């Protein structure tokens, strides 16, 4: 009997019986592992999977985006707001320009919604992947296996009402926003340096909805933006501490807070700044974009940044439900008898229509940029500057007599040339040598096999 066992992710089934006996709040569902935990969606299906099915009510989530050249953190906050609007939940948005921010939120594909661009029949990225995979001739013994998945789909959850399939090409309708503002579903507050007043407004929003029993989403897209004034680290921590206190008092609320990129490091808050912040939140994640480091963008061309998890919500248990249920993290499959491995590396990418978090796998060694299952494409020539010694005779002919002038003076001669278009067509450009990209081969074409006799 073979001792090897195939690792399979445990299937997560949501029992429908629990939902029928409890009157759930709009846009929420019960956690399959804890009947006292009520979950609400963050708007991103893959982020919900990482959080353990969604963000639990009475919990707060910190989204750190330290990249100053991108705004992925604000994008996550927009998803959070859009999901709250779509689910009919109450929103309290605190920002420098809350009206402008909320008007830029995405929406789902609907006949009444406004679209910034004409939606194509299929997503370009998805169609490319589909075409690529259909050309693969796979061995017969692997035909029954499912396609390799790096993320989770929104259809994993019971209904679309829990997590809407938002499309970045659509914006929330202006009429919908006006109606939501008039009916007080949306409370907009300008960021202020008076943190106590902000806490009072949040408390009031939660208190007024405690009788209506409607979930309240508190969203602070950019804590520390100029509208907040000149904040000190201890003031920020005190504010977050008070916010957590308010959420504990009114357990039908939840909060999502983003941090200004310049405040997202120990350089601003001192040693252990992010650790202290993460302790005061129930969940803490980082979306570290690659735009600040070009080498990372070249190394991982299919993703836009890496996703790190610092803390996950566990409001009624010792460990987060994500440890058992998350497909992306992959911890649940290894926590049993066959366990021992660490969790998956995660990365995110922002396509034209959505933001998705995926498992992050390293490329094949040897410099190949993708897992190739079809014929290799023609390698692109890469211009690599190679030091080629230029004969002194040619230099003298051209008239640059640097070497001759410096000859015998003891000074190193560094030939510097300007481009000469007339002679360019005839001669090869000196100093540059086109190299073909390195290919992965098991047998060098030019060198004989060592074992050939």
Partner 1 sequence: MTWFSVNDLLTSNGPLVITDQLVSPGDFLLHQLLSEYVKNSSDGKCVIISTSQDVAKWKSISSRSGFNLTQKLEQGSIIFIDVPTQLPDLSPSEATLLPLLNLIRNSVKNLHRNGTTPTLLIFDELATFEWIGHPVLDISRFARALVAYCAKNDVYLVVRYHIAVPVDLDGVVRILLQLAAYHIEVLPLSSGKSGAVSGEISVHAGPTLISTPRRVIPRSRALQYRLGDYQVTYFERGMGSAVL
* Chain residues that interact with partner 1, rule: CB under 8 A: 33-34, 36, 234-235, 237-238, 241-242, 244-245, 248-249, 251, 271-272, 275-276, 278-280, 310-311, 315-319, 323-324, 330-335, 337-343
In the complex with partner 1, the residue whose CB is nearer, 175 or 275, is 275
In the complex with partner 1, the residue whose CB is nearer, 31 or 40, is 31
Q: Contact, 328 vs 46, CB < 8 A? A: yes
Q: How far is the CB of 216 from partner 1 (least distance, A)?
A: 17
In the complex with partner 1, the residue whose CB is nearer, 67 or 323, is 323
In the complex with partner 1, the residue whose CB is nearer, 231 or 292, is 231
Q: How far is the CB of 361 from partner 1 (least distance, A)?
A: 17
Of 222, 281, 253, nearest to 73 by C-alpha is 222
3-state secondary structure string across 124-169: HHHHHHHHHHHCCCCCHHHCCCCCCCCCCCHHHCCCCCCCCCEEEE
Q: How far is the CB of 276 from partner 1 (least distance, A)?
A: 5
Q: How far is the CB of 331 from partner 1 (least distance, A)?
A: 4
User: Which structure tokens are listed for 20?
Assistant: 């029928």
Q: How far is the CB of 243 from partner 1 (least distance, A)?
A: 11
Q: 103 to each of 78, 208, 323, how far by Cα in Å?
A: 10, 24, 36
In the complex with partner 1, the residue whose CB is nearer, 98 or 269, is 269
Sheet hosting strand 216-223, strand order edge to edge: 186-190, 90-95, 216-223, 253-259, 60-64, 283-289, 305-311, 346-350, 355-359
In the complex with partner 1, the residue whose CB is nearer, 245 or 351, is 245
Q: Contact, 309 vs 94, CB < 8 A? A: no
**In the chain, helix, strand, coil percent, each to 5?**
30, 20, 50
Q: How far is the CB of 283 from partner 1 (least distance, A)?
A: 12
What is the DSSP secondary structure assignment for residue 375, as one 8-state letter? P
Q: How far is the CB of 347 from partner 1 (least distance, A)?
A: 17
d(CA 168, CA 447): 52
In the complex with partner 1, the residue whose CB is nearer, 224 or 330, is 330
Of 384, 387, 374, 380, nearest to 439 by C-alpha is 380
In the complex with partner 1, the residue whose CB is nearer, 49 or 323, is 323
Q: Contact, 313 vs 281, CB < 8 A? A: no
Q: How far is the CB of 294 from partner 1 (least distance, A)?
A: 27
Sign of torsion over alpha carbons 281, 282, 287, 293:
positive
SS3 302: coil
Helix (H) or strand (E) holding 84: helix 72-87
Q: How far is the CB of 344 from partner 1 (least distance, A)?
A: 11
Helix (H) or strand (E) holding 307: strand 305-311
d(CA 270, CA 76): 26
In the complex with partner 1, the residue whose CB is nearer, 27 or 56, is 56
Q: How far is the CB of 9 from partner 1 (least distance, A)?
A: 12
In the complex with partner 1, the residue whose CB is nearer, 169 or 320, is 320
The dihedrals phi and psi of 95, each to the nearest 5 degrees, come to: -155, 170
């Amino acid at each position: 009997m073979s001792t090897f066992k195939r690792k399979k992710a445990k299937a997560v089934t949501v029992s429908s019986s629990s939902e029928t006996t409890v009157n759930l709040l709009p846009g929420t569902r019960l956690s399959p592992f804890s009947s006292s935990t009520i979950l609400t969606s963050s708007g991103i299906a893959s982020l919900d999977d990482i959080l353990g099915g969604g963000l639990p009510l009475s919990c707060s989530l910190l989204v750190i985006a330290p990249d100053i050249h991108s705004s992925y953190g604000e994008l996550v906050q927009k998803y959070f707001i859009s999901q709250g609007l779509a689910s009919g939940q109450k929103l309290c948005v605190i920002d420098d320009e809350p009206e402008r921010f909320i008007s830029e939120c995405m929406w789902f594909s609907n006949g009444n919604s406004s679209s910034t661009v004409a939606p194509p029949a299929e997503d370009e990225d998805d169609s490319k992947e589909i075409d690529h995979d259909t050309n693969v001739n796979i061995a017969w013994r692997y035909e029954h296996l499912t396609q390799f998945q790096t993320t989770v789909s929104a259809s994993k959850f019971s209904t679309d009402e829990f997590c809407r399939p938002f499309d970045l090409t659509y914006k929330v309708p202006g009429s919908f926003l006006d109606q939501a503002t008039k009916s007080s579903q949306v409370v907009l507050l300008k960021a202020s340096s008076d943190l106590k007043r902000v806490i009072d407004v949040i408390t009031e929003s939660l208190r007024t909805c405690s009788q209506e029993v409607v979930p309240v989403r508190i969203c602070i897209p950019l804590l520390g933006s100029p509208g907040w004034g000149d904040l000190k680290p201890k003031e920020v921590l005190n504010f977050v501490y008070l916010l957590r206190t308010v959420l504990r008092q009114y357990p039908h609320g939840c909060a999502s807070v983003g941090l200004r990129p310049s405040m997202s490091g120990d350089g601003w808050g001192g040693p252990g700044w992010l650790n202290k912040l993460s302790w005061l939140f129930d969940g803490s994640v980082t979306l570290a974009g690659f735009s600040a480091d070009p080498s990372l963008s070249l190394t991982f061309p299919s993703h836009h940044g890496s996703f790190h998890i610092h803390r996950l919500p566990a409001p009624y248990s010792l460990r987060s439900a994500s440890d058992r249920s998350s497909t992306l993290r992959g911890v649940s499959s290894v926590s049993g008898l066959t366990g021992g491995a660490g969790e998956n590396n995660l990365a995110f990418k922002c396509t034209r229509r959505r933001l998705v978090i995926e498992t992050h796998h390293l490329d094949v060694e040897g410099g190949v940029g993708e897992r190739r299952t079809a014929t290799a494409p023609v390698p692109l020539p890469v211009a690599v500057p190679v030091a080629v010694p230029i004969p002194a005779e040619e230099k003298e002919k051209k008239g640059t007599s640097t070497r001759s002038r410096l000859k015998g003076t003891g000074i190193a001669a560094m030939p510097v040339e300007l481009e000469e278009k007339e002679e360019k067509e005839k001669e090869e450009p000196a100093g540059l040598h086109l190299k073909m990209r390195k290919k992965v081969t098991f047998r060098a074409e030019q060198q004989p096999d060592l074992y050939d006799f």
